[in-house]
Structure 1
Amino acid sequence: MINMAKAKYLEVASELKKRIEDGVYSKQEPLPDQEAFAKEFNVSRLTVKKAFDGLERQGLVYKQSGLGTFVAGEIPIKSQIDAPANAFTGLQNQLGKDKIKSKILHFSVEFPDEQMQRNLNLKANEPIYNIIRLRVYEDHPFIIEHTFMPIKLVPDLDEKILHSSIYNYIHQKLHLKFGHAYRKIRAQKPDQYDIKYLDAKADDPMLELEQIIWLTNGQPIEYSVSRNRYDARDYVLLDNNRF
């Protein structure tokens, strides 16, 4: 049964991932079609498609035009710290709600400077949230996220939500959908936040993800920079030539 408290496609993806890992579906063999899963889980075909898309980003399945969706074989270079570079689901949904905690390092409301006005397509008098959070994974410091969001798109954000999941609040309470994102991944030297909160040494490389996320209507809803120590997380992208 689908848990209505969680996005339906995530529940479908979680169940299919378990079946793949348990060997219910054989590697290099096609999965049942979307219509079959839609009937089984009592969801729409679009929900199943989104679940398939999420599994593809994780490298668990691959799609072939006109042939369907197939179970992928083992990826020898895959590791536990791999994270899809093109995911929109947030850490709690990626790694587990009970495994991720958030510590608020900074939370304020302010007016955007010129750069943030350009990043979020705002006027100078339109306020934004300025949020810095330490994300803790299984009780270990994991990622520092510095996030800016327009108040007009994400009203009533509070510390309770920041300790949980901002993305779940946006999707499930505000009923907003992400459309596309531009992401830039680079190596950086550690700053004082990295040293203090991520236990980084002065010569540890840091992995930085800078991004802007837009809603389906084209409005930018987030500008953020996330940083983790070099040995904490990798970003991966699965390419599939479907032609």
Structure 2
Amino acid sequence: MTKYESIAAVIKQRIQDNVYQTGTLLPNQSDLASEFGVSRMTINKAINILTMEGFVSSQRGFGTKILNHPLWNKDVSPVNEYRGLSFQMAEQHRQIKSQIISFEVAFPEKKIQERLMLTPQQPVYQIVRLRIVDDDPFILEHTIMPVDLIPNLTDDILKESIYHYIQFDLGLQIAGAYRNIQATRADEFDIKYLQCQPTDPVLEVEQVAYLKNGRPFEYSHSRNRFDKRGYTELDMRN
């Protein structure tokens, strides 16, 4: 967890504990920077996380107002979330584990070459994992990554957090992702691993994730049970 992520978690807990009351203003960034011993830029990053999650609203000239909007009754994630599922679940004090369904190296087909800016000769990992949260099937992830960019992936890494490995072991900086979210029908994999019914809708998230140097490092599509997970977007105008 980065410094700004840990600060965001502390502030969020204070909001939930009513230390910072709904409808009031968050202490200004200079005071928070002094309290946590960090720069205002770090505090601004923490507030951005809280804004995306619906806990605060920042308006230029008016400060940062406490919203503490509940995110409904099922797990939701901001559409521009890129910290990884393991971090999100750890933040919520929930247990997560991964079941590896398939893990192999292959040469990319044309669509993957285009998505990840690869040549036909650059091998990729093809990974399918079932993410299990609190012993319930949660997300079925189909992930493709360039071998040269994310070297030495192992079963142990896949059972934990690929994003943690990318950021903290490889030292790569993730910039964000482009996502397409749509409803679709359950397929055979969903029925088998997510325990869906044949008539259940599934929320599919197709994603290309990028490093700060602009290179795409992941193409994936995750399959989410309709009753387990959703995505939310906060649209604010300054």
Paired residues for 1:147-158 under 5 Å? 147-158=143-154
Matched residue SS, 2:58:
strand
CA contact (8 A) 1:7 1:172 kept: no
The equivalent of 1:188 in structure 2 is 184
The equivalent of 1:162 in structure 2 is 158
Instruction: Report the alpha carbon displacement of residue 223 of structure 1 after superposing the two structures with TM.
Output: 0.6
- The match for 2:80 among 71, 81, 86 is 86
TM-score, normalised via structure 1 length: 0.92
Aligned-pair Cα RMSD in Å: 1.5
Paired residues for 1:13-32 under 5 Å? 13-32=8-27
Residue by residue over 1:34-70, the C-alpha shift from the partner in whole angstroms, topping out at 9 and shown as x without a partner, is: 2322232223333222211111111001110233222
Matched residue SS, 1:125:
coil
Paired with 2:145 and 2:114, the residues of 1 have a C-alpha distance of 13
Matched residue SS, 2:171:
coil
In the alignment, is residue 233 of structure 1 matched against residue 213 of structure 2?
A: no
- The match for 2:123 among 110, 118, 127 is 127
CA contact (8 A) 1:31 1:70 kept: yes
Greater CA deviation, 207-216 or 38-47?
38-47
Paired with 2:34 and 2:106, the residues of 1 have a C-alpha distance of 48
The equivalent of 1:65 in structure 2 is 60
Task: Extract unaligned runs of 5+ from structure 1.
Answer: 1-5
Paired with 2:228 and 2:171, the residues of 1 have a C-alpha distance of 32
Paired with 2:61 and 2:145, the residues of 1 have a C-alpha distance of 40
Paired with 1:238 and 1:183, the residues of 2 have a C-alpha distance of 15
Paired with 2:116 and 2:223, the residues of 1 have a C-alpha distance of 20
CA spacing shift, 1:63–1:231, aligned 2, 3 Å: same
Instruction: State the AA in 2 paired with 1:170.
Output: I
Instruction: Report the alpha carbon displacement of residue 28 of structure 1 after superposing the two structures with TM.
Output: 2.2
Instruction: State the AA in 2 paired with 1:189.
Output: R
CA contact (8 A) 2:74 2:230 kept: no
Paired with 1:78 and 1:98, the residues of 2 have a C-alpha distance of 17
Paired residues for 1:37-76 under 5 Å? 37-75=32-70
- The match for 2:167 among 159, 166, 171 is 171
The equivalent of 1:3 in structure 2 is none
Instruction: Report the alpha carbon displacement of residue 163 of structure 1 after superposing the two structures with TM.
Output: 0.8
CA spacing shift, 1:172–1:39, aligned 2, 3 Å: farther
Instruction: Report the alpha carbon displacement of residue 172 of structure 1 after superposing the two structures with TM.
Output: 1.5
The equivalent of 2:205 in structure 1 is 209
Paired with 2:41 and 2:127, the residues of 1 have a C-alpha distance of 33
Instruction: State the AA in 1 paired with 2:20.
Output: Y
Matched residue SS, 1:144:
strand
Residue by residue over 1:56-87, the C-alpha shift from the partner in whole angstroms, topping out at 9 and shown as x without a partner, is: 11100111023322211545x73332221110
In the alignment, is residue 8 of structure 1 matched against residue 24 of structure 2?
A: no
Greater CA deviation, 46-55 or 182-191?
46-55
Paired with 2:75 and 2:176, the residues of 1 have a C-alpha distance of 24
CA contact (8 A) 2:129 2:140 kept: yes
Task: Extract unaligned runs of 5+ from structure 2.
Answer: none
Matched residue SS, 2:214:
coil
Residue by residue over 1:222-242, the C-alpha shift from the partner in whole angstroms, topping out at 9 and shown as x without a partner, is: 111000111111111111121
CA contact (8 A) 2:15 2:68 kept: no
CA contact (8 A) 1:120 1:223 kept: yes
